[in-house]
Amino acid sequence: MNQYPLWKYILIVLVLLTGLLYALPNVFGEDPAIQVSVSAHGTALDQNTLNQLTTALEKANLSVKQAALTPQGLLVRLYDTDAQLKAQDVARETLGRGYVVALNLAPATPRWLRALGAAPMYLGLDLRGGVHFLMQVDMKAAIDHAEERYVSDSRTMLREKKLHYLTVERASGGGIVFKFKERTERDEALVLLSKELRELQMVSQDAPDGFYVFGRIPEKERRSIAGTAVQQNLTTLRNRVNELGVAEPVLQRQGEDRIVVQLPGVQDTARAKEILGATATLEFRMMDEEHEAQEALAGHTPAASKLYYERNGRPILLQKRVLLTGESVIDAASGVESQSGSPAVFITLNAKGARIFSQSTRELVGKRMAVVFIETKSESKMVNGQEVKEKRVVEEVINVAVIRSELGKRFQVTGLDSTDEAHNLALLLRAGALAAPMEIVEERTVGPSLGQDNIATGVRSAIIGSLLVMGFMAFYYGMMGVISDLALLLNIVLVVALLSIVQATLTLPGIAGITLTVGMAVDANVLINERIREELRNGNSPQASIAAGYSKAFLTILDAHVTALIGALALFMFGTGPIKGFAVTLTLGILTSLFTAIMVTRAVVNLTYGRQRAVRLSV
């Protein structure tokens, strides 16, 4: 008698029910929606904001399917894409600046399924579409940043060599100007700077008011700096996309100063836009203890200092010299300060940054240090009926504290407004600083690359092909063929369920992987059925033929699946992008086909024929 123990039946039923449950969200589709979020410094979104937006949408004769406050902001579901685009314009006009209004496709999964953690799998740009950003790198800012670095390094070198200078600063037309009182000091400095800063072209000049050295970055070095800035920004964007958890993103350079970012299957487009476009970083500067901020307000700012403002609006005078920047941060985590309970960011520095910070703070114990939060924002405004983008750099002092002891590799920053701000700042620091600011010059929701008609045709072809295969199996193998067809359907359900659980992105190569695993599952059942036929022809009883068919075909099926699994793992390890998507679906499909082709079909066969002593086997 062919029978499984009870625990095997229970296990199979639980696996299948779980698979059906987690595959179910893919049936409900998605709603066109707009998502509204606010930057860390903006006004918090609340019920009043939601009411204001829904009222404006009603006045615009736009029917709202659902509007709700979510942890990520406001989510307004519409009935079609035309209403979605109109609602985006209305939201921007109603809420004004400071808010991020992005298009989204919100899953229409019922609440009870969401409560169980069930969510639909992501679809790639070639199937469902996604978000497409074209980002432009500010090359001038990259050159300016390099010149600022040269200014800071030059001052440090001249001080260490005890060469007295009057000023070291960037020239208004580009380049660096060194001014000295004595010719001898100028000449010594020229030799030193030419040796240490070989990237700069140095030229000396005498003038009635002093002796000068002019340093300029040559064109070849400018191109190198610009290329490095784009490459570093590309790496930083990849890190940020990884932090967002987007599967199979596309990030590639376009031209000299642009980067294309495609986020397939993204669920939170507003947050993606905010994080990708953000240029937030930190600078640690010492306070100018010798001068008053009121002097700077009156127009008498010391040459080595700069006027800043704290978040409460109080002016504060800081030294231009930067002790440390966010570029030295290798890890950052948001949390809560143990004593005050206020939001904080816990920072870990690299070896070089830790050494510099330790040495600087050791010499400055007892003095006050400020943490400056710097963020570059791109804002749009209408000028003469045309949209004009403006860049605005926000520099705020978020924390001022007395250095009580030498600071090392790990320390914390407080003074943040909220836990969300702490989380975003930690994410940006952890992902790396941008070498130069970027702005999103194009944003659009991308439709399927093959078009809806082609996708519908592909789905229809797949269904017709599957029905033909299932019809052939049922015709050629009878009842055993019907059982095999059931296993094929359950195999597809389990693959979809696993893709949904791991939140993988399904692309056209992924569908090819599923198709391949369905073929392997059919092949496994063909081997089993043919083996059973052979046993029957040899004169064995139906029950003995079933047992022998499954046991003797098992090793052959296992060998074929293990060989395919090795290939899939190799593709996943060494492939990128769509190749990884193919490898993921192929790997999951191999595992599910082993389960359905052997365990599930054997359980159904046992329940159908196993209890009958005299049986006529339909195979």
Q: Are residues 456 and 500 in the same domain?
A: yes
* Block residue for tokens 């240090």: 369
Lowest mean pLDDT among 37-41, 108-112, 153-157: 37-41
Pairing type for strands 505-506 and 122-123 reads: parallel
- What would the pLDDT profile of 486-508 be if each residue is shown by its tens digit? 988 899 899 999 998 988 777 77
Give me the mean pLDDT over the 283-309 stretch.
84
The pLDDT of residue 479 is above 60: yes
- Note the residue count of the chain: 619
The pLDDT of residue 559 is above 70: yes
Q: Are residues 508 and 476 in the same domain?
A: yes
Give me the mean pLDDT over the 221-230 stretch.
85
Q: Is 476 part of a structural domain of the chain? A: yes
Give me the mean pLDDT over the 104-108 stretch.
79
Per-residue confidence (pLDDT) for residue 417, from 0 to 100: 67
The SS3 of residue 158 is helix
Categorize the per-residue pLDDT at 19 as very low, low, confident or very high, splitting at 50, 70 and 90: very high
Q: Are residues 67 and 94 in the same domain?
A: yes
- What would the pLDDT profile of 331-348 be if each residue is shown by its tens digit? 777 778 777 777 888 888
CATH value at residue 39: 3.30.70.260
Per-residue confidence (pLDDT) for residue 91, from 0 to 100: 86
* Block residue for tokens 């599910």: 592
**Span between the terminal Cα atoms of the chain, in Å:** 18
Q: Is 254 part of a structural domain of the chain? A: no
The pLDDT of residue 267 is above 70: no
Categorize the per-residue pLDDT at 40 as very low, low, confident or very high, splitting at 50, 70 and 90: very low
Q: Are residues 217 and 288 in the same domain?
A: no
Work out the mean pLDDT of the chain and round it to a whole number.
80
Per-residue confidence (pLDDT) for residue 448, from 0 to 100: 57
Give me the mean pLDDT over the 17-41 stretch.
81
Q: Are residues 550 and 590 in the same domain?
A: yes
- Overall number of domains in the chain: 4
Q: Which two tokens mark 456?
A: 């519908």
Collect all residues with Cβ–Cβ distance below 8 Å to 95 and sequence separation of at least 6. Answer: 36, 49, 52, 53, 101
Q: Are residues 161 and 63 in the same domain?
A: no
- What would the pLDDT profile of 346-362 be if each residue is shown by its tens digit? 888 877 778 888 888 88
Q: Is 262 part of a structural domain of the chain? A: no
Amino acid at 111: R
Q: Which two tokens mark 30?
A: 């998605």
Question: Who wins on pLDDT, 586 or 415?
Answer: 586
Q: Are residues 165 and 290 in the same domain?
A: no
Q: How many other CB atoms sit within 10 Å of the CB of residue 511?
A: 19
The pLDDT of residue 16 is above 90: yes
Helix axis angle, 419-431 relative to 269-277, nearest 10°? 60
Of 205, 221, 237, the domain-final residue: 221
Of 275, 304, 269, nearest in space to 290 by CA: 304
Per-residue confidence (pLDDT) for residue 18, from 0 to 100: 93
Q: Are residues 19 and 51 in the same domain?
A: no
The pLDDT of residue 202 is above 70: yes
Q: Are residues 325 and 362 in the same domain?
A: yes
Categorize the per-residue pLDDT at 17 as very low, low, confident or very high, splitting at 50, 70 and 90: very high
The pLDDT of residue 189 is above 70: yes
Q: Is 249 part of a structural domain of the chain? A: no
- CA gap 305, 319 in Å, rounded: 4
CATH value at residue 199: 3.30.70
Percent of the chain with pLDDT over 70: 85
Q: Is 578 part of a structural domain of the chain? A: yes
Question: Who wins on pLDDT, 541 or 268?
Answer: 541
Q: Are residues 97 and 164 in the same domain?
A: no
Question: Who wins on pLDDT, 399 or 556?
Answer: 556
DSSP-assigned letter for residue 140:
H
Q: Is 45 part of a structural domain of the chain? A: yes
CATH value at residue 488: 1.20.1640.10
Query: Which range, 19-33, 103-117, 261-275, has the best average confidence (pLDDT)?
Result: 19-33
- What would the pLDDT profile of 442-477 be if each residue is shown by its tens digit? 877 665 555 566 567 666 777 787 788 888 888 888
- What would the pLDDT profile of 125-168 be if each residue is shown by its tens digit? 777 667 788 888 888 888 888 888 788 778 878 888 888 888 88
Amino acid at 307: L
Q: Are residues 464 and 597 in the same domain?
A: yes
Per-residue confidence (pLDDT) for residue 339, from 0 to 100: 72
If residue 193 lies in a helix (H) or strand (E), which one and from where to where? helix 183-196
User: For the whole prediction, is pTM greater than 0.85?
Assistant: no
Per-residue confidence (pLDDT) for residue 24, from 0 to 100: 92
Cα-based angle 216, 221, 226 (whole degrees, multiple of 5): 110
Of 368, 399, 414, the domain-final residue: 414
Q: Is 266 part of a structural domain of the chain? A: no
How many DSSP H helices and E strands does the chain contain? 17, 22
Give me the mean pLDDT over the 277-299 stretch.
79
DSSP-assigned letter for residue 595:
I
Q: Which residues of 115-143 are buried (b: 16+ CB within 10 A; e: fewer)?
A: eeebbbbbbbbbbbbbbbbbbbbbbebbb
Give me the mean pLDDT over the 49-58 stretch.
88
Domain range for residue 486? 6-24+450-609
Q: Is 342 exposed, middle or buried (0-12, 13-18, 19+ CB in 10 A)?
A: middle
The pLDDT of residue 315 is above 80: yes
Of 221, 244, 261, the domain-final residue: 221
Q: Are residues 290 and 319 in the same domain?
A: yes
7 in Cβ contact with 591 (< 8 Å): no
Q: Is 512 part of a structural domain of the chain? A: yes
The pLDDT of residue 62 is above 70: yes
Per-residue confidence (pLDDT) for residue 454, from 0 to 100: 58
DSSP state letters, 78-124: ESSHHHHHHHHHHHHHHH-TTEEEEEEEEE---HHHHHTT--PPEE-
Question: Who wins on pLDDT, 187 or 2?
Answer: 187
448 in the Ramachandran plot: left (φ > 0), alpha (ψ -120 to 50) or beta? beta
CATH value at residue 404: 3.30.1360
Collect all residues with Cβ–Cβ distance below 8 Å to 125 and sequence separation of at least 6. Answer: 132, 250, 262, 264, 446, 448, 449, 507
* Block residue for tokens 């969510």: 119
